[in-house]
């Protein structure tokens, strides 16, 4: 088998380490093709050997990609050739950060070994023996039996389709208040722990803090649509891009309650047709014009990111001039997005990712703190919902490199969500924070907003009733991107990936 033995032994090593999958049938067929000799007595044997070698290289690449946990080649091609393609600096940093020096060193040792013995030892039996171990393990696992994840998932969606939060049109009790939804890209608990900010003072100020909130998806557009449809139970990914019943739309419900609604972005909303999709499928308003805003950063595709604080203060100025008794804002910020960098910093891609991310998070927290001060100084009552779209995947895992979010693992979709009351009876920093650690998702936010509108938290008593707290809806963990799902059943996590099969994930993957 010559140096092809390195291809198979290297892949087998990566498989046993959990970095790739290993399709036994396809790899065995490919090995037979590699071992198939080309008769030397044929007049065109050199040509046939060349064709066979080139074909083998192409097949080896495609098979390795298929066995990997990477997104499909089609998705990668679309990402790299999209009108707003990633910058060269972003791609270079991603490739550098994706390399594991230890594993690369071991692969080099395997390569050196295969090169040294290539003419003296046939390694095909070793490869077949290792494949046999994989086969026996697969048969044993099948004999033990897997939970029927498909049935569990069908029951989950059936149950979710019946859940809906109705905003009661009865006369609300207590003072009016505004609602501000701060929807932040790329901020998960796992990212915060990686940079030592999971216990930052910023989180101490929220009256309610969710520690086990599932954003469901790992991308911005579906996350925004899910938030703006928070009134209804969790939908399948594909259903997000079709209109749904009117009662599902959060902003529509707020409008019916007398709220004047707004949308503001710290970006132009062009990438991925973000603004168009949140308006079409989430019933969001047109975004406040960004003319004259300071370009504080550039995103991974070199599109502008405006100053968060300036955008928020511009909206607040518009709101102050409004005669509406109630106003609600959906604000989307991407200043933490992977590849985003300050406009005045050169060679940003050479800066350590964690150092850069930590600084960006602290700056975001500072800006929001200033905005909260502005709200407090106005004398108005404001309910602020701080909710990330998804995590950044700062650390990555054995099956997914840092920055990749194609597989919506729990460390990517478990995000910090806080609710803060600003106004009468509430100090800027809460002294009695309530922690919600049960598995939750968007329905819980809709429930709390509907409850607070009916029973204003800014009344004579600023205590949130025990009845409201006890009835916060729980949602089992199911996350998904297009074609990819991760389901928690019992204590185990299962992945439905590009191979269209369910795979039980090892505990180390979902740490």
Q: What is the mean pLDDT, run by run of 10 residues, along the chain of 511 residues?
A: 91 94 94 89 82 95 95 85 80 86 94 90 90 83 64 96 89 84 98 97 96 98 98 97 96 96 96 96 96 92 95 96 94 95 88 94 97 95 98 93 95 98 80 92 97 88 83 97 94 91 90 80
Q: What is the CATH number of the domain that holds 278?
A: 3.40.720.10
DSSP state of 220: H
Q: In this structure, are 117 and 219 located in the same domain?
A: no
Domain hosting residue 96, numbered range: 4-144
333: Cα within 13 Å, side-chain hemisphere: 29
Phi, psi of 456 (to 5 degrees): -55, 130
Which pLDDT does position 459 carry in this prediction? 79
Which two three-digit tokens encode residue 488?
A: 């928690």
- Whether residue 187 contacts residue 334, with contact meaning beta carbons closer than 8 Å, is answered with no
Do residue 336 and residue 216 come from a single domain? yes
Q: Assess if residue 65 is contained within a domain.
A: yes
| 351 lies in the same domain as 468 | yes
Q: Are residues 259 and 139 in the same domain?
A: no
- Let me know the angle formed at the C-alpha of 395 by 201 and 359, rounded to the nearest 5 degrees: 40
Residue 500: strand, helix, or coil: coil
Quote the number of domains for the chain: 2
| 444 shares a domain with 321 | yes
Q: 139 in a domain, yes or no?
A: yes
- Which residue's entry shows tokens 């910020």? 333
Assess if residue 493 is contained within a domain: no
- Residue 97 is predicted with a pLDDT of 84
Residue 432 lies inside a defined structural domain of this protein: yes
Q: Smallest Cα–Cα separation from 215: which of 493, 445, 452, 509?
A: 445
Q: What pLDDT, on the 0 to 100 scale, is given for residue 142?
A: 59
Looking at the structure, tell me whether residues 193 and 134 fall in a common domain. Answer: no
For residues 475 and 467, give the distance between their C-alpha atoms in angstroms, rounded to a whole number.
19
pLDDT score for 143: 44
pTM of the model: 0.92
152 occurs within a structural domain: no
Same domain, 261 and 379: yes
Cβ proximity of 86 and 79 under 8 Å? yes
**Quick one: 70 and 202 in the same domain?**
no
Q: Are strands 382-388 and 178-184 parallel, antiparallel or unpaired?
A: parallel
Asked if residue 162 is part of any domain, the answer here is no
């Amino acid at each position: 088998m010559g140096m092809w033995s390195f291809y198979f032994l290297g892949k087998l090593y990566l498989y046993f380490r959990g970095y790739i999958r290993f399709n036994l049938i396809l790899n065995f067929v490919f090995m037979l093709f590699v071992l198939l000799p080309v008769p030397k007595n044929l007049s065109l044997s050199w040509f046939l050997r060349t064709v066979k070698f080139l074909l083998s290289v192409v097949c080896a690449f495609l098979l390795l990609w298929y066995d990997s946990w990477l997104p499909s080649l089609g998705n990668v091609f679309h990402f790299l050739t999209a009108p707003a393609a990633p910058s060269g600096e972003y791609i270079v940093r991603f490739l550098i950060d994706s390399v594991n020096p230890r594993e690369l060193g071991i692969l080099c040792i395997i390569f050196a070994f295969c090169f040294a013995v290539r003419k003296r030892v046939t390694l095909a039996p070793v490869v077949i023996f290792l494949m046999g171990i994989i086969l026996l393990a697969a048969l044993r696992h099948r004999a033990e039996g897997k939970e029927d994840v498909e049935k569990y998932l069908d029951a989950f969606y059936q149950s979710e389709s019946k859940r809906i939060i109705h905003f009661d049109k009865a006369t609300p009790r207590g003072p009016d208040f505004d609602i501000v939804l701060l929807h932040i890209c790329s901020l998960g608990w796992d990212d915060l722990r990686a940079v030592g900010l999971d216990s930052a003072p910023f989180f101490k100020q929220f009256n309610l803090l969710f520690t086990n909130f599932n954003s469901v998806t790992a991308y911005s557009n579906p996350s925004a649509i899910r938030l703006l449809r928070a009134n209804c139970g969790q939908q399948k990914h594909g259903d997000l891009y079709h209109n749904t019943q009117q009662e599902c739309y959060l902003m529509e419900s707020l409008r019916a309650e007398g709220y004047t609604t707004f949308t503001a972005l710290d970006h132009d909303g062009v990438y991925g047709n973000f603004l168009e999709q949140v308006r079409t499928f989430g019933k969001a308003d047109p975004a406040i014009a960004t003319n004259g805003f300071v370009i504080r950063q550039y995103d991974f595709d070199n599109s502008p990111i405006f100053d968060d604080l300036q955008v928020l203060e511009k909206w607040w100025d518009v709101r102050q001039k409004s005669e509406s008794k109630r106003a609600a804002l959906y604000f989307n910020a991407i200043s933490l997005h992977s590849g985003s960098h300050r406009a005045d910093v050169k060679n940003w891609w050479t800066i350590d990712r964690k150092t850069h991310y930590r600084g960006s998070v602290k700056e975001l927290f500072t800006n929001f703190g200033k905005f909260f001060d502005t709200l407090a100084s106005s004398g108005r009552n404001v309910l602020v919902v701080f909710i990330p779209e998804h995590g950044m995947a700062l650390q990555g895992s054995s099956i997914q490199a840092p920055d990749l979010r194609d597989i919506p693992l729990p460390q990517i979709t478990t995000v910090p969500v806080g609710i803060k009351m600003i106004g009468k009876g509430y100090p800027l920093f809460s002294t009695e924070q309530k922690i919600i650690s049960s598995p939750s998702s968007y329905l819980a936010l809709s429930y709390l907003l509907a409850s607070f509108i009916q029973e204003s938290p800014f009344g004579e008593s600023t205590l949130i009733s025990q009845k409201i707290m006890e009835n916060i809806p729980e949602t089992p963990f199911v996350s998904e991107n297009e074609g990819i799902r991760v389901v928690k059943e019992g204590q185990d996590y299962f992945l439905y990936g590009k191979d269209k099969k369910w795979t039980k994930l090892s505990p180390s993957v979902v740490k």
